[in-house]
Each structure stands twice: as C-alpha cells, then as structure tokens.
Structure 1
Amino acid sequence: MTDSGSVEQPRRPAFGEYATPEEQSSRAGRPLVPPPAVHIPPTAPAAQPVTPTAPAEAAGERPAHPVDRMASIALLAYGLWNVITTVITYLNPSSLLTTLMQAMGISGTFTNYGQARTWGIVAGVVLIVGWVATAAWSVARLRRGKLTWWLPVAGGIVFGMLAAVCLMVPFFADPAVISYLNGQLQK
C-alpha cells in the first residue's frame, strides 16, 4: 500500500517478458540462437596413489618370494653340480658297480662292462634331461610367483631313481651277481 491510500495494481508483463527463448524466436520470426557455450571443466577424479609395478606384475605375474627364489636357485645349482659329477661317473660305471658288489658282500668283480657302459650313458642322459626339465619348470613357476623350492628336490629324487634303475639293469645281469642271488635263493 502507498501513502495516498490507493492500492497498487500488479503490473502486467510487457510483450514477451515471460516467454521462453523458443517462443520469443518463433514469434519474432527468426531462428533460435543457442546460448553461448560455457566451458565447465570436468571434475577430475580423486587422485589415486601411483605405485610402481614390476614388469612381472604388468604382465599379470606375481613376484616370487625372495627366500623361495634363493632356495630354488641354490637347489638347482646343487643339482647341476650333482648331475655333472654323476654323469662323469656313469660314463664308466664298472668301478661303481664293483664297489656296490663289495658293499653287498658279493665275492668277485663286476665283468659286464659293455652293458654297463651303455646303460651308464642312458642313465647320464636321463639325469641331464631331468635336470633341464626341472630347471625349465622351476623358472616358469618362479615367474608366476608360485612356491618352487620343492620342485628341484622332487626332480632330483625322481630322475635320480630313474638313473639308478638304468644302472641296475647291467648290475643284475652280471654273472657274479646272478650266482650270488642264486646261492642266496638256494639257502
């Protein structure tokens, strides 16, 4: 209310005051001009801590446990040394088999030299192939981050037993061993 006592009438809107921009453009006969684009930078995601990844992790592999890695490498190195020294012995196993006969109490000497040399070479090849297979499998497991220390141990046992079986063929074919076993069976 005003001082004069008159009541003020609400004002009527002027032409197009409440019209939308589309209505104003259509009534004026001109195309709708879009409002100027306001560039609002996108909100940046929260900063994530950056952790360096090893090449093995980037390829989906986990790093091996350091103690397991050291133990596996040490066992493989020991196995390689054992294979080398044993293969040298297996190239001429007659002295080894003679010692075995004496340890068992068999009188006489080992005389099956030709067969012993052949089977000694076979036993040496078994040991070499076994070590290479064990080493390759161990490296593959180490790269995947799996425990591997037991693999060189198991490989040594398995392939050592296979090589021993190869040497038992000429040993049990030796005449002195056969006569000893026949004498033991007749008692």
Structure 2
Amino acid sequence: MSDGESRPRPQYGEYATPEEQRARIQRPEVTEALEAGVAPPAEPAPAADSAPRVRGPLADRIATFVLLAYGLVSIVSTIVQLQDFPGYAERAAQILGVDATYTALSAGYVWGAAASVIYGVGYVLTAWLTWRRLRRGRIAFWIPLVGFVATTLLAGVCVTIALTADPAFLSALTGVVAN
C-alpha cells in the first residue's frame, strides 16, 4: 500500500488552488459544478457602476454635511461683505465701538478680493477633500473644521494687510484695543 492509498481523501479542499478556494467560497454554483465534474461557469465581469460603496457612520455624515452647509452660507455671506471692503472695515470698527472711516480704497478692494478668492477656493478644496473621504467610508467631520481654520487664517492675513494700509484707521482701532 502506497502513501496515496493509505491517506484518506481530502474533505475540506486542502489540495485546492487558491483560485479554486476563492471560487467555491464566493460562488456556490462553482462548487456544485466542480462536484458534478463539470467545468465551472465563467465568472461574470463586474459592471463599472456596481463598485461597492462604503459608508461611514451616519452621525459623521450628518455632522459633515451640516458643517459643509453652514460653511457654504458663511462663506457666501463673507464674500459678499468683502466685495465692499471699506464698508466691511467700518462695520468691524463700529462693532468695536470706534467711529473711523476707512480711506485706503484701492488696497481695500484688492485685498478684499484676494480674501474672497481664498475663501472660495478654500471652501471648494474643503468640500472636495471631504467628498473623497466620505466616498471611502472614512470619518470626515474634521475636514470642514480644519478647512475653516486654514482658510480663515489665510484670508485673515489679506484682511490684516488691507487694514494696515490705512494708518489712521489702524490707529483708531489700536487706540480702542489699548484702552
């Protein structure tokens, strides 16, 4: 009696190739065909649109969409206000209780427009990165928060440059802050 005859017939596919094992696990009709001694049916090609979509936690998706919606409303209103930078600066001074007139009009319009572009591009970039992360089923609520901070810091630099272009206005503002 040789080793092949004394050994019991495999029952669990230990001699199956990895491809055969995967086929049997994923498609029961392959198992039936192999047990019947028939060539297994060809594996159907997956459709391009049938790629599985992974979804992250519902609470994360809700929080992410709420943050993006709030950000959109905030960005649009800020961009509209920055288009009239002298008015924007004077409203900021009024909030601080200062009666000052912004007079560096050309610098205000240029830097206000630059801040508007930064806000717009920052929002679009944030929304795109958020969408990519959500499509992968990963936690994404933090991306709008980081995008807000980064965009606000960059746009704040532009607003600060515009405010420092008018020394009298800046002096009136710093006088209030010093007191």
Same-fold status (TM-score > 0.5): yes
Deviates more, 1:147-156 or 1:99-108: 99-108
What is residue 74 of structure 2 aligned with on the other side?
A: 82
- The answer to whether the 8 Å contact 1:92/1:117 transfers is yes
Paired with 1:91 and 1:174, the residues of 2 have a C-alpha distance of 17
Greater helix share, structure number: 2
Using the aligned pairs only, state the percent identity: 33
Residue 35 of structure 1 is matched in structure 2 by none
Q: Hey, what's the Cα distance between the residues in 1 that align with 2:116 and 2:174?
A: 30
The RMSD of aligned alpha carbons is 2.8
Q: Name the residue aligned to 1:29.
A: none
2:58 equivalent in structure 1: 66
Deviation at 1:175, TM superposition (A): 2.5
Q: 1:168 to 1:92 in 2, by over 3 A?
A: same
Contact 1:56-1:62 within 8 A present in 2 as well: no
Aligned length: 134
Q: Measured at CA, do residues 128 and 181 of structure 1 come closer, stay the same or move farther in structure 2, by a change above 3 Å?
A: closer
Change (3 A) 1:120 1:42: closer
Give structure 1 stretches of 5+ with no counterpart: 1-40, 45-53
Question: Residue 123 of structure 1 aligns to which amino acid in structure 2?
Answer: A
The aligned counterpart of 1:93 is 85
Give the whole-Å Cα distance in 1 for the aligned partners of 2:159 and 2:68: 24
2:152 is the counterpart of 1:152: no
* Residue of 112, 126, 137 corresponding to 2:118: 126
Task: Say if 1:100 and 1:120 are closer, same or farther in 2 by CA, change over 3 A.
Answer: same
What code does the residue aligned with 2:68 have? L
In structure 2, the residue matched to 1:176 is: 168
Q: What's the CA shift string for 1:4-37, capped at 9, x where partnerless?
A: xxxxxxxxxxxxxxxxxxxxxxxxxxxxxxxxxx
Q: CA deviation at 1:64?
A: 2.0
Distance 1:56 1:142 in 2: 15
Higher mean displacement: 122-131 or 98-107: 98-107
Structure 2 length-normalised TM:
0.64
Q: Deviations over 1:99-122 (max 9, x none)?
A: 333445655311111111111111
User: Is 1:106–1:177's contact at 8 Å kept on the other side of the alignment?
Assistant: no
Q: Which has the larger radius of gyration?
A: 1
* Residue 127 (structure 1) shift: 0.5
Give 1:42 deviation, angstroms. 4.3
List 4+ stretches of structure 1 deviating above 6 A.
181-184
Q: 1:78 to 1:107 in 2, by over 3 A?
A: closer
